[in-house]
Amino acid sequence: MTKRTSLKLNDERQLLFDKASEIVARDASDDPPRSDVIDAALTHLIESYKNLEDVRDEYPPQTVKDCCNTSVLGMRYRTSIDKKWR
């Protein structure tokens, strides 16, 4: 991973940040710093990935997809989004 000093926000990414900030905020008047929003999102991503890996061999693919409420169960940076169990 390369280290970058700036984060460019197109309209779609800004919308995602706004939605994520609402989730992380304590209440309607709270405006959390972007670094806190990014930390929360990264922590959630890592925990979700671990949870998926923990149950992958225990349950059928469709059950995992339904319970995790996702159709995407694997990602590759700049390559594709894979649905591993199709």
Distance (Å, whole) CA 63 – CA 42:
25
Q: Which amino acid is at 33?
A: P
Q: What are the tens digits of pLDDT across the range 11-59? A: 988 998 999 999 999 898 999 999 999 999 888 888 888 887 888 788 8
Q: Which of 63, 18, 64 is nearest to 41 (CA)?
A: 18
Question: Is 56 part of a structural domain of the chain?
Answer: yes
Question: Is 63 part of a structural domain of the chain?
Answer: yes
pLDDT attached to residue 55: 82
Q: Which residues contact 55 (CB under 8 A, 6 or more apart)?
A: 64
Question: Is 1 part of a structural domain of the chain?
Answer: no
Query: The domain containing residue 50 runs over which residues?
Result: 12-24+32-82
3-state secondary structure of 74: strand
Stronger pLDDT, 70 or 38, i.e. the higher one = 38
**Cross-strand bridge partners of residue 74:** 82
Q: How many domains does the chain have?
A: 1
Question: Is 44 part of a structural domain of the chain?
Answer: yes
Question: Is 3 part of a structural domain of the chain?
Answer: no
